[in-house]
Structure 1
Amino acid sequence: MNGKDIRKNLCDLHFNLFCLGQIFFEFSNILFAVVLTISVYRVTQSGYSISTLMFIKYLPVILLGPIAGVFVDRYKKYKLMTLCLAIFIVILILIHLTINLFEIYIFLFIYMVMFTLYKPARYVCVPVIVQNKKLLIAANSILMCAEEATGIFGSLIVSVYESKNTSSTLFSMLPIVSMCIALPITYMALKKKENDLYKNRNNSEISDDTSKQKIDFGKSIKELVIGWKYFKQNKALFPLAIIVSITWLGIGSFTSIHLIYIVKYLKIHDYYYGYVASILSIGSILGYILCPILVDKLNINKYKIWALGFLIAAFSIVMAIYTNGFYYFVFVLLLFSISTGCANTVEESLEQELPIEEHRGKVISFISTIGTIGFLVGTVGAPFLTDYINIRYILIISAASCFVVSALIRKNYLKRVSDKLFIKN
């Protein structure tokens, strides 16, 4: 498929609105996340506090991730996402009104409970809007670029604001305002498209009104078990989940220590953390743009790109071990984020492409849950260990994880891609 066909198919009002809604959501989310991380570290000055924050943040994904997929498959995605966005707004307002760290942790936990439902719904919506599987990599590239560009903007705003060390009610309200804008845009982007899709397919399994349908937990558990059997027996999906878990172990352990690394080892002020987040986002955008060019224009096997991306990421982390200056660290971050951005574009497209529609939400939730376990181990363990061991040992673990991922991709995908049963089963 050439570039003109891709542009023609992706210049769709609903897809553009969906991207716009995700931009406002991501802007709110990045402001909330970066400010919260900096604030907690300033109060405690300990890697343990960052570990606690990460544990609270990702525990709901592990506990509730699988069952979230059942609801994503059963109910209309646009209603689930708008419900989540509405609850996000309430939680952000409550956090805005409190200064108690314990209360913030509680609100963060509730926020992530809803995010556990929001995330798989967001992924499933892409193939709902873009129904041509050949366009999924390009569509995900555009969407991920938009989200990362928003992340850059949000991170820079935080860094500039924090560097001035001023208090502004207007700034603290930005996440709430942005989330309020995201809600109606997301609703408009998905409602007609999803209704038309399921109307044409006459899909009686999708509830038209989530408020009138009672939640049958027995049926939900049964659907969960059926989905798990499909997922476990699939030759392509279960290895994908293991790969994602190890991937996020490495990425999580590397990215979670950036704040500690620049403060303790590079001797730079903590507000540079926002700049670091921006650099990672810039590199990720370049990776997202590069991936469809390599796959669609140069016809390079996407599994090779996937494996090579994590191999380069591993080498970049090894380079970080010998980093002494901030600018060299910036180069390492760019190399790391470009390679992982390219690889993650392939991985995200596979999550949407490989499962059948009946189980897509559950499969994405399973993969997300298993991946989050690895990410949680990395993001909780790495900052915690910085209080006891040299940070360079943590970087070695991160690099080793990326090497293992690259090897697993070669073993489980590159050598079996010609097997038709590998994709169909």
Structure 2
Amino acid sequence: MSKNIESIDRREFVKKSGLGLLTAALAPSFLANLKAGERLKTAHIGLGAMGMADLSAISSHELVDVAFLCDVDSENLAKAHALHPNAKIYTDYRIMLKEMKNEIDAVVVSTPDHTHAPASLMAMKMNKPVYCQKPLTHHVSEAREMKKIAEKKNLVTQMGIQVHSFYDYKLATLLIQSGIIGKVHTVRAWSPKNWGYDGPEPTGSDPVPATLDWNLWQGTAPERPFKEGYYHPGNWRKIMDYGCGTLGDMGVHIFDTPYNALKLDVPETILNECRLPTDFGFPEHNMVTYQFPGTEYTAEKLTWIWYDGPGAPSEHPDLILPNGDELPDQGAMFMGDKGRLLLPHFQQLPRKIVDGQYVEMDIESFNLGKPVKDYEGESKKHYHQFVDACMGKDECSAPFSYAARLTETILLGVIAGRFPNQTLHWNSKKAKFDEKEANEFLDGKYRKF
């Protein structure tokens, strides 16, 4: 492990790595140089739980060859390599990308949140299509950078929100845009998951597992001693240096359909009602209220309230269901001037509610076929869409042009958690808050490692 590690500004990293030197836009089919019958050689960065799911789904495409595998944990790497023994293995994604840039056709990034942008940006700088897990980035500035580069280079990109391609979410989008509940004025969304930590920052250190390169796992994040049970594996989402809390995990999925259906941009104001910040862990309970400018599918302004943590959501008349029914564990409720639409998360059909009663809907008219409840099969659609887009045969439905705006919205709510019970005002054109003290959290220092 490096003992003398400096911090560098993210912009300096972009400059030094050559990411600021954008080439002219490429042809829409980035891999048009592949000859007929050739296969897509993929490189996979991050092979933990979600990384293995991504690997399985991507490799299930008949035209994919898994050529390169990279993880900082040798146990993860060994499990993936056993499934793809012909793949070349690496511990450091930077070495893999530099050595194999001429052999890699597309890159899949499935790391903890803080490494999404550093790994993706390096691959994009090399003109590689990228599939990156959600949330797209750890910082707002990174999301804007990734959107900018993807668009200027005309790269095929997809954020890993696989439920974006599920039947029930496609149906809900069509229902809302058909005006089935009129103009929407409020959305309430919730998840009782707890990717927060209200306890004290741990002290001392534990031995780093022999299988883990702790320096590489931390990557560009600030250096700290390893503590068993706090970071790797599994709990990093709770910690500010690495994750984005429940909002950054489940919020991205549950926000996605209302955000897409209502054609929202980024919010104008954000208020997070939560405990005081600790500068280490995210709050275990958040209630975030966003105000969005109106669109063709909304009232003049749209109010969006997000609840997370054990017991979420808070009781509200908007969330009372007919017949005394219980709310789904996770989901969203659209409130319009002609009724409400309940959208459970996930693989449950949306339900229309008017005057306290369920109302039948004609879903056959939307030509989506019969409802589907097949998580594995439905999930693959999103991954295969990326592969097909790389081959010039399809377009991605969650490209970085969309994913960056959705992620920015999520991250603004995360930042608001550092200023509890204070309304923050977001200037999208300037990419700054009116409240200057909040702007320091839009970016971050990249540690040399």
Using structure 1 for the length normalisation, give the TM-score: 0.30
Look at both structures and tell me which one has the larger radius of gyration over its CA atoms.
2
Higher strand share: 2
Q: Which has the higher contact order (CA 8 A, sep 6+)?
A: 1
More helix by share: 1
